[in-house]
Amino acid sequence: MDSKISQREQWTSKLGFILAAAGSAVGLGNLWGFAYRASQGGGAAFVLLYVLIVLIVCLPVFVAEMALGRNAMASTLLAPVKLAGKNWYPLGILFFIAPLGIASYYSVIMGWTADTLFHSLFFGLPKNLTEAETFFGSISSGSSVLLGHLLSLVLTAIIVSSGIKKGIEKVTRYFMPILFIIIVILAIWATSLSGAWEGYKTFLLKFDFNELRNPQTIRNAFTQAFFSLSLGIGIMVTYASYLNKKSNLPKLSVGVASLDTLVGLMAGFITFPIVLTFGLSDAISESTVGALFISIPTGLGSYGAAGRIVAVAFFALAYIAAITSSVSLLEVPVSSLMDKFGFKREKSVWLITLFLFLAGIPSALNLNILGTVDSIFGGVLLIFGGFLVTFFMGWVVPGKFNEELNDSKVGIKTTRYLKFMTRWIAPPIIGFGLFISVFDLMKSWVS
Ligand code: PHE
């Protein structure tokens, strides 16, 4: 069963792991997801809830996932069974299926991103909202969307088939610094826009206490926190299984979570000024999955050559961020097949890529299906996974969790804090978030 585990690859350094894990976390969720969730009416209350969830529950989930992966030294499909026996196989299966679900439509959105990038580069930007809507219609349908979906999957597959060190680690080492530079430059540029202040106010200061009780805002905040940190579906289990025993898991989690949240907030500092400067809040608050691809090019279109350069930088940034996330989504099922059936990496990669291409076709051709798949796989399932993983490490195999914390040498106070949070605080809060999210999702289906 675990024939390949003994030859597990490892990251070359701690930095290699941090960049790869941050590469997984920082993605379309920070740019596309954050903008449209923040504009669905939650405003500053959404942002506050999101940050609180990251600090209070996501950090313990992060450490729990890493502890599971490093202790088992196995892929997500087998890790729970290795630690707690056959009864926990369903958790492994959940961790196997959820990334497949996300990856199937993530590459579709990557395709839109690539299309918008090429169009901005070679043909310029739309002149008004109608033109932008027509353009988005053309890239999100027919053969063009299938081609974008396919190319993004193939690019991801090429990187993953080169392995951990030569593929994922190498790519993230180059891409992550470029991404940080572009995002900082764009955030500085956005301060010069006339609607900058209006934009910051909308997403940081427009605080409505009632929003804290709005199920949609609560679901958005939980979804954003888990999706953006790539938590609850075994990504960090897999990545941590390539770590050596000496690394300090809590410290690494704090590093990755801070980078991701920083990028998320900076993305808000770019998209909100643009949207409010050009009076596009209506376009974006309709909050269809395509809002960002319509409002950003339209806004920048009225800004001449500078606008075009910014559009190219923005969509290049989004694509770079997305590719380092999609490799993590592919790595999880790939490593699971390798561990379970002893498949070679290449075989595993191309089998799953073919499956993802086919599974993504309905989402590619129909935005409603994409939205639904996203709210299930990229929403409630992640929250459910987060709940299960804290329950598993906190209550089912607390001894293993302890071992990993001891190996991390974090000191008695941090160890106590993490154990307490993982057993008593995270599961009930996530359980509550899950309940509200499922309820809100059902409500949105009925209405
Ligand atoms: N975190 C990634 C993003 O923000 C998406 C992702 C979610 C990747 C879940 C892996 C797992 O875009």
Residue of 23, 40, 2, 25 whose CA lies nearest to 289: 40
How many whole angstroms from 318 Cα to the centroid of ligand 1? Answer: 13
Q: Which helix (H) or strand (E) holds 123?
A: none
Residue of 74, 76, 31 whose CA lies nearest to 315: 31
Q: Determine if ligand 1 sits within 6 Å of the CB of residue 28.
A: yes
CA atoms of 327 and 329, how far apart (whole Å): 5
Q: Determine if ligand 1 sits within 6 Å of the CB of residue 30.
A: yes
How many whole angstroms from 442 Cα to the centroid of ligand 1? Answer: 23
Q: Determine if ligand 1 sits within 6 Å of the CB of residue 216.
A: no
Tokens 């643009």 belong to residue? 274
CA atoms of 363 and 209, how far apart (whole Å): 36
CA atoms of 115 and 50, how far apart (whole Å): 30
Contacts of 422 (CB under 8 A, 6+ apart): 60, 63, 64, 390, 393, 394, 401
Q: Determine if ligand 1 sits within 6 Å of the CB of residue 330.
A: no
CA atoms of 106 and 324, how far apart (whole Å): 12
Ordered by where they begin, the domains of the chain are 14-446 (1.20.1740.10)
How many whole angstroms from 10 Cα to the centroid of ligand 1? Answer: 22
Residue of 295, 314, 287 whose CA lies nearest to 217: 287
Do you know the residue count of the chain? 447
The type of residue at 320 is I
Q: CB atoms < 10 A from the CB of 301, how many?
A: 21
The pLDDT, as a whole number, for residue 281 is 65
Q: CB atoms < 10 A from the CB of 128, how many?
A: 10
How many whole angstroms from 377 Cα to the centroid of ligand 1? Answer: 11
CA atoms of 214 and 42, how far apart (whole Å): 8
**Ligand 1, atom 6: closest residue by C-alpha:** 230
Query: In 54-141, which ranges are continuous DSSP H helix?
Result: 59-72, 79-84, 89-122, 129-139
How many whole angstroms from 260 Cα to the centroid of ligand 1? Answer: 10
Report the alpha-carbon angle 326-330-336, nearest 5.
155
**pTM score, two decimals?**
0.94
Give 4-66 as a DSSP string: TGGG----SSHHHHHHHHHHHHSSHIIIIIHHHHIIIIIHHHHHHHHHHHIIIIIHHHHHHHH
Query: In 191-303, which ranges are continuous DSSP H helix?
Result: 196-200, 215-228, 235-240, 249-277, 281-285, 291-301
The pLDDT, as a whole number, for residue 42 is 85
* Separation of CA 386 from chain center: 14
The pLDDT averaged over each successive group of 10 residues in the chain (447 residues) is 60 94 95 81 90 97 98 96 97 97 97 96 91 90 95 98 95 94 94 91 86 95 97 96 93 96 91 81 61 85 91 95 97 95 97 98 95 95 98 98 94 96 98 98 91
How many whole angstroms from 119 Cα to the centroid of ligand 1? Answer: 25
Give 378-410 as a DSSP string: IIIHHHHHHHHHHHIIIIISHHHHHHHHHHHT-
Torsion of CA 296, 301, 304, 308, to 10 degrees: 50
Q: Determine if ligand 1 sits within 6 Å of the CB of residue 236.
A: no
Tokens 């939980």 belong to residue? 222
Report the alpha-carbon angle 349-110-93, nearest 5.
45
* Separation of CA 350 from chain center: 23
The pLDDT, as a whole number, for residue 252 is 96
**Ligand 1, atom 7: closest residue by C-alpha:** 230
